Amino acid sequence: MGTQEVNQEGGPQPQCNHEETKLWGTVEEYFHQLWGNRWVGGLWIDSIGKSGGIIVLWDKREWKGELIDTGSQMLTCKLCGINQDLTWYLTAVYAECDRNEREELWWELSSIRGICEGP
């Protein structure tokens, strides 16, 4: 029997294990692992500093995705329906906690609206 840390009440000490997730292989391989089939399309921004990065996935049988713009804290893509007449824009955001750094995001978001036509 192994040793355990004991808390002040005499019971076992709860333990927390924190493991950082690492991306092994290509990003496309990771998409397929997440989605589970070959029909996954996607765009991404790599992690920078404390940022976890951004991944946007879609089903390529239903949508055609196109990168419109990226910023330090956001990614905007245009999604066009393949079997339907529908086009829309998606902006995924991973905002900084610092207010001054977040201000850059607000400028990026306001400028992206001028590029996108539609919802």
Give residue limits of the domains in the chain.
27-115
pLDDT value, residue 113: 83
Global pTM exceeds 0.85: no
Reported as a single tens digit per residue, the pLDDT across 88-116 is 999 998 887 888 888 888 888 888 888 88
62, HSE (Cβ side, Cα atoms, 13 Å): 5
Check: CB of residue 91 under 8 Å from CB of residue 74. Answer: yes
What count of residues does the chain have?
119
Residue bearing the bigger pLDDT, 23 or 27:
27
Kindly state the tokens that stand for 83: 């079997």
Beta carbons within 10 angstroms of residue 8's beta carbon: 6
The pLDDT tens digits of the residues spanning 29-77 come to 777 777 777 788 888 887 777 667 788 888 899 999 999 998 888 899 9
Check residue 19 and give left, alpha or beta (phi > 0: left; psi -120 to 50: alpha): beta
Is 91:76 a contact under the CB 8 Å cutoff? yes
The burial of 49, by beta-carbon neighbours within 10 Å (0-12 exposed, 13-18 middle, 19 or more buried), is given as: exposed
* Residue 28: band (very low, low, confident or very high) from pLDDT cuts 50, 70, 90: confident
Q: How far apart are CA 26 and CA 66, in angstroms?
A: 20
Q: 81 near 87, Cβ under 8 Å? A: yes
Per-residue DSSP letter, 59: E
